[in-house]
Chain A
């Protein structure tokens, strides 16, 4: 079945540094990648949607200069949290679809802690 590999699973970084999170589709070409952030009460907020080869579409309220998303190939999408602050500490998860007629495949998530 379709697999999305997300790395790292956990990362601790200092305030002001940048962190890159990768999501790779291992056995399919992901035309679309979704990035989520977990908020209290366990809900996952959609941050942005990226299509291969084009700029990501950010949801309202998400700073695109702070959360850089790159979807340079059909198998790799990255989320870079720039100039991280403690309030960016959260759980980030990606999701990919092969196409509109296919289901979603989720990465296993990244726990980011900014100290």
Chain B
């Protein structure tokens, strides 16, 4: 079964606008971590933000925030004030225990329009 689902293969956003990238996950573990990565054309995976399952507040890192809705098992990434350099692939991932394995979504390609 798919552990991480990203339903938006491609998204467009106007520069300086906010955009939400969707991610839903599936796990029966109580303790898990949710990650978002950015993959520019260079290929590396840049860590953006992390949310622990026990964290009561939504994680924020600069212009990135994670809209964590535990009951709905969703962990959407919100990028505020989009910049042209935000154009990239974005991957949602989960690491659950005890396997300590990573599960990635299929990614969302974000294009920021000037």
Check if B99 sits within 8 Å of A44, measured CB to CB. no
* A: contact size bracket: 20 to 34
Given contacts A1-B2, A44-B37, contact A104 B44 (CB under 8 A): no
Residue in contact with A106 in the complex, picked from B44, B50, B104, CB distance below 8 Å: B104
* Chain B interface, >50% SS class: strand
Cβ-closest chain B residue relative to A108: B101
Cβ-closest chain A residue relative to B48: A42
Given contacts A108-B101, A108-B102, A109-B102, contact A103 B43 (CB under 8 A): no
Minimal beta-carbon separation of B1 from chain A (angstroms) = 9
Check if A93 sits within 8 Å of B43, measured CB to CB. no
**Footprint of B on A, CB under 8 Å?**
1-2, 9-10, 34, 36, 41-46, 49, 59, 91, 93, 95, 103-106, 108-109, 111
